Amino acid sequence: MKTPPLPLLDRPEGMTTHDYAFARLRQAIMVGSFRPGTSVTIRGLAEALESSPTPVREALRQLTSIGALQFLENRRIVVPRITPARFEELIALRIALESHAARRAVAHLSERQIERIVAIDDSIEDEIRRGDQAAALIANQAFHRTIYTANPDQIVMPLIESVWLQLGPILGIAMEHVTELYVVDRHREAIEALRRRDEDAVADAIAADIREGIGGFDQQAVARLLKLAA
């Protein structure tokens, strides 16, 4: 069991060791630092995070509950494997959830929030230009999250983040082998539709954004990526 390097993360004053461990592991999985099928151990991660096992155990309970990791029958903990069919389910679910979330956010968005979303979209392009795919992934998520959390009563974000997390490891492989992951997007259409407060158009733009973005990987492409990572 070799723990990959975990991307560093700021630890604010007063943040508990458990919260820090959880945030750091979650981030690592989200940006593809762990490959599908990778085994992890409590003590190995505790060492990498420079903590005792207790906070790591609790973080692992959380990570398994949100689909980022998986407890096996033999009690081992692994990064879930993914098949092309499951990838397709993840994309379809992402489309269902995010178009639903976008619809229900439209009525709540202020002009200021829309300008904020535009700024985030610009930052995605900066990151792409810079060649930093993980940062582009994070910025892309911030773009989507800022739209959906405009709805003050939304409860869908934890579900969406869980789907994003489950896509992390395969996207990590893709980021190593594909250079234009976030070039195609429909963010402009989404922003135009937000300005018009047109729920249908927003939902359609978000769905198209996902379908034509990472959803463009068909089953053959996913199988190829998985083979590359074996």
Binding site for DNA (CB under 7 A): 1, 14, 16-19, 40-44, 51-55, 57-58, 71, 74-77
Site string for its own copies, 77-106 (x = CB under 8 A): ------x-xx-xxx-xx--xx--x---x--
Of residues 15 and 96, the one with the C-beta less far from DNA: 15
Buried b (16+ CB within 10 A) or exposed e, 174-188: bbeeeeebbeebbbe
Q: Which one of 162, 199, 211, 223 is in contact with its own copies (CB under 8 A)? A: 162
What is the identity of the amino acid at 192?
A: E
DSSP summary character for residue 152: T
Q: Which is nearer to its own copies, 134 or 156 (CB)?
A: 156
**Of 206, 48, 169, 196, nearest in space to 111 by CA:** 196
In whole angstroms, the minimum distance from the beta carbon of 85 to its own copies comes to: 4
Q: Specify whether the CB–CB gap between 172 and 33 falls below 8 A.
A: yes
Least Å from the CB of residue 89 to its own copies:
5
213 neighbors 184 (Cβ within 8 angstroms): yes
Residue 71: DSSP 8-state: E
12 near its own copies, judged by CB under 8 A: no
Q: Is 78 helix (H, G, I), strand (E, B) or coil?
A: strand
Residue 155 touches which member of DNA, its own copies, none, C-beta under 5-8 Å by kind: its own copies
3-state SS assignment for residue 164:
helix
Residue 156 binds which of DNA, its own copies, none (CB < 5-8 A, kind-dependent): its own copies
Q: Site for its own copies (CB under 8 A): which residue of 114, 156, 201, 229?
A: 156
Contact 62, 22 (CB under 8 A): yes
Binding site for its own copies (CB under 8 A): 57-59, 61-62, 64-67, 83, 85-86, 88-90, 92-93, 96-97, 100, 104, 151, 153-156, 158-159, 162-163, 166
